[in-house]
């Protein structure tokens, strides 16, 4: 479960049983939408690291850049999310292909792609 308590500050602290993350509405930290996009980038890194571990190589030096592109309805619609990966020189073509394939199956991306089947509920507790 994820929980937050609304207060009068520009900060939004979200907690789970073990962790806490903080967002902001004043530009001092990422806002929740930016955090969502950052989560997609972090997921790509997780899958790159997993692939490297399976390949028995270091993930050191892999650089991942992600960019969201708004849809026709404006900045709150995500039409495309581009992930670009740069590899250090020592990576072979086969290793690069395996890592890119792994990143393509990031769990967060999969949830977003299947999103239309997600039922969101908002109710008073």
For residue 120, the model assigns a pLDDT of 79
Per-residue confidence of the chain (125 residues) as pLDDT tens digits? 999 999 999 999 999 989 999 999 999 999 999 999 999 999 999 999 999 999 999 999 999 999 999 989 888 888 899 999 999 999 999 999 999 999 999 999 888 887 667 777 888 78
85 within 8 A of 63, measured Cβ to Cβ: yes
Q: How far apart are CA 92 and CA 96, in angstroms?
A: 6
pTM: 0.86
67: helix, coil or strand? strand
Q: Tokens 């740069």 belong to which residue?
A: 86
Domains in the chain, ordered, with CATH? 1-30 (no CATH), 31-117 (3.30.300.20)
85 within 8 A of 93, measured Cβ to Cβ: no
For residue 75, the model assigns a pLDDT of 80
For residue 115, the model assigns a pLDDT of 67
């Amino acid at each position: 479960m994820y929980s937050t308590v609304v207060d009068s500050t520009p900060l939004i602290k979200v907690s789970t049983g073990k962790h806490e993350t903080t967002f902001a509405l004043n530009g001092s930290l990422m806002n929740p939408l930016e955090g969502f996009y950052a989560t997609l980038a972090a997921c790509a890194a997780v899958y790159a690291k997993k692939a490297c571990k399976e390949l028995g190589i270091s993930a050191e030096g892999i650089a991942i850049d992600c960019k969201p592109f708004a849809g026709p309805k404006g900045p709150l619609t995500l039409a495309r999310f581009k992930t670009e990966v740069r590899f250090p020189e020592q990576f072979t073509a086969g290793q690069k292909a395996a890592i890119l394939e792994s990143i393509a199956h990031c769990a967060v991306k999969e949830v977003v792609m299947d999103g239309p089947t997600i039922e969101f509920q908002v109710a008073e507790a």
